[in-house]
Amino acid sequence: MANHLYTTEDLMSEIEQLRIAQPHLENLLKAFGPLLVEKNQWLSDTAVDPRALPIDPLRFAEGIPLNRQHQLFFADDPWGSAGWSAAKAISQGFPHLGQDMEVLLRRFTEGKYHCFSQLFVNNQEADGQLSEKAAHLAISPTSLHLFLRVLNRFMLSKKARDMQAELAAHPWKKGYCPVCGALPHLAILGDQGQRRLQCADCGHAWPFSRLTCPYCEHEDPQNTNIFFIDGQKEDSAFTCDKCRRYLLTANRSASLGNPHADLIAMSLLHFDVILQEKGYSPMAECEWNSFLQKDE
């Protein structure tokens, strides 16, 4: 199951409800809310790619994710609209980067985005030449870095969405994502206690054994724990003492609707704070939970 799509109205009202229920998340939601809304809108507006990438069942069973079986990105993917939406969302959530995003918006409006799509299509590591590229565009390296991360997530989410049916037909036994190989930032427990891991980068979700650590595949009840906060039965965190990682875990029965996974993860930020103080690291770093580590 890939990202569930919402109407923009529903998603915005979900963000508003969370802001009211947990006022301490206000700044976080101001920064990242526009990214969730724009990505969801862009995905809804973007056609499903009929070009299915065939999954090699043997390599898949060995734990080789799709992005290591195939090239995922193509020059004719909708980079123009993705880049434009990504820059617009960043300018809304991070007003101090607004001028740099104006520069990028102009390039995407004028169709001059070949240099960006090429980075992804050729699988180049942009980081090495980031400052050079940023100087060439006359924007800051921070702006360019954030923009490329967001653009990558937009396109990966589309790939996960487009491959949904194909992926459902092949079992996957690993703790990292079958589409993009990233680690989960959240687990959701269903009605029968089954655990689904949620990819931090492409939004794909897949079932995974409840007792095994997705990070190090350690399966020993003596070294893994479920951490609760008093008075909150629905939410917890899985911790592993072998790799010292944790995974936010939400108990969401189907009857509660289909809340956005990133919003659930943000609503559990207090677990990130407590567990990082105890010396655990998040299984997947997102922009908001890695801020905590940098502050130390």
Q: Is there binding between residue 177 and Zn ion (CB under 5 A)?
A: yes
Angle, CA of 163, 166 and 167, to the nearest 5°? 80
Q: Note whether 11 and 261 are within 8 A (CB).
A: no
Contacting range for Zn ion; rule: CB under 5 A; set: 78-86, 98-106, 215-223, 286-294: 215-223
**C-alpha torsion 178→158→93→183, nearest 10:** 0
Q: Is there binding between residue 206 and Zn ion (CB under 5 A)?
A: no
How far apart CA 83 and CA 99 sit, in angstroms, is: 16
User: Residue 198 CB, nearest distance to Zn ion (Å)?
Assistant: 9
Q: Is there binding between residue 179 and Zn ion (CB under 5 A)?
A: yes
Token pair for 194: 């089954």
Which C-beta is closer to Zn ion: that of 179 or that of 266?
179
User: Residue 98 CB, nearest distance to Zn ion (Å)?
Assistant: 30
Q: Is there binding between residue 263 and Zn ion (CB under 5 A)?
A: no
Q: Note whether 237 and 249 are within 8 A (CB).
A: yes
Which C-beta is closer to Zn ion: that of 84 or that of 238?
238
Q: Which of residues 60-89 bind Zn ion (CB under 5 A)?
A: none
Token pair for 162: 């487009």
Q: Is there binding between residue 275 and Zn ion (CB under 5 A)?
A: no
Q: Is there binding between residue 240 and Zn ion (CB under 5 A)?
A: yes
Distances (CA, A) of 251 to 193, 255, 261: 8, 11, 12
Contacting range for Zn ion; rule: CB under 5 A; set: 90-98, 111-119, 136-144, 202-210: 202-210
User: Residue 243 CB, nearest distance to Zn ion (Å)?
Assistant: 3
Which C-beta is closer to Zn ion: that of 126 or that of 216?
216
User: Residue 156 CB, nearest distance to Zn ion (Å)?
Assistant: 6
Distant-in-sequence, close-in-space partners of 183: CB < 8 Å, separation ≥ 6: 175, 176, 177, 199, 200, 214, 215, 283, 284
Q: Is there binding between residue 180 and Zn ion (CB under 5 A)?
A: yes
Q: Is there binding between residue 176 and Zn ion (CB under 5 A)?
A: no
User: Residue 144 CB, nearest distance to Zn ion (Å)?
Assistant: 23
User: Residue 104 CB, nearest distance to Zn ion (Å)?
Assistant: 25
Residue type, 131: S
Distant-in-sequence, close-in-space partners of 293: CB < 8 Å, separation ≥ 6: 276, 281, 285
Among 213, 263, 275, 284, binds Zn ion (CB under 5 A): 213
Contacting range for Zn ion; rule: CB under 5 A; set: 56-64, 83-91, 118-126, 206-214: 206-214
DSSP bridge partners of 245: 240, 281
Whole-number CA gyration radius for the chain: 19
Q: Which residue has the tokens 């992804």?
A: 120
CB-neighbour burial class of residue 23 (10 A; exposed 0-12, middle 13-18, buried 19+): exposed
Q: Is there binding between residue 243 and Zn ion (CB under 5 A)?
A: yes
Token pair for 79: 């980079």
User: Residue 242 CB, nearest distance to Zn ion (Å)?
Assistant: 5
Among 215, 246, 271, 288, binds Zn ion (CB under 5 A): 215
Distant-in-sequence, close-in-space partners of 30: CB < 8 Å, separation ≥ 6: 93
User: Residue 202 CB, nearest distance to Zn ion (Å)?
Assistant: 3
Q: Which residues of the shown chain bind Zn ion in the complex (CB under 5 A)?
A: 177, 179-180, 182, 199, 201-202, 204, 213, 215-216, 218, 240, 242-243
